[in-house]
Amino acid sequence: MGVKERRAREKEQLRQQILSAARELFVTEGYENVSMRKIAAKIEYSPTTIYLYFKDKAELLDSVCKETLLNLLDTLERLNRDKSDPLETLRKSGRAYVEFGLKHPQEYKLTFVVRPQFQQGLGLEEGSVGEKVFNYLCAMVFECIRQKVFRQMDVEMTGQVLWAAVHGVTLLLIDFPDFPWSEKDALIDMVLQTTIEGLKG
């Protein structure tokens, strides 16, 4: 490995180290209570070093949330999408979304609850990773409509309805673990089933 390649790898390793420290501190101490100096202290570098990689704390939060969305997108894209059975693909994707949120609850909340409190939008702007996640959902809706499994309806609005359903159950299960929920898997399946049934032709 040449000097240039080694330096590039070391830079990326430090960037990931900064992101990891920021993610942990945002989760444990709250975004508003974390300073760039505190992040630098955690990885034993000077704040000046952090600013070589990220212009401010907001950009750090954006980068943490982008990584979460990339991991979510990767999870969804690894599913076996069977175009001959678009409903089953939609169910599997909905369940995978909820399970991702429950597996990474703090990262999920940073992305969909904390970030919008401090910055405009949800990170779903044109060309963003968030938009790609939403477009994945809309593509499945379109396929269900094309195959006449769903009645004719607005694809984007229907995607929003499905997202509202899976996001809602995900956040409730994260925020209220002590509530006497019905059996978790059965609850998730019922949310998906009743939402999908309401969209059928």
What's the CATH code, domain 61-197?
1.10.357.10
- Averaged pLDDT, 98-120: 89
Q: What pLDDT sits at residue 120?
A: 66
Domain ranges of the chain: 1-54, 61-197
200 — phi, psi (to 5°)?
A: -65, 155
Chain-centroid distance of CA 92 in Å reads 16
Which tens digit of pLDDT belongs to each residue from 39-67?
999 999 999 999 999 999 999 999 999 99
Say yes or no: do domains 1-54 and 61-197 share a fold: no
Classify domain 1-54 at the CATH topology level: Arc Repressor Mutant, subunit A (1.10.10)
Whether the per-residue pLDDT at 123 is higher than 80: the answer is: no
- The amino acid present at 145, given as its one-letter code, is I
- Averaged pLDDT, 19-29: 92
Burial 149-162 (b: 16+ CB within 10 A, else e): bbeeeebeebbbeb
Residue 92 structure tokens: 């599997």
Cβ atoms within 10 Å, residue 1: 7
150 — phi, psi (to 5°)?
A: -100, 150
Whether the per-residue pLDDT at 122 is higher than 70: the answer is: no
Q: How confident is the model at residue 124 (pLDDT cuts 50, 70, 90)?
A: low
H-run or E-run covering 69: helix 57-77
Q: What pLDDT sits at residue 150?
A: 94
pLDDT-above-90 percentage for the chain: 77
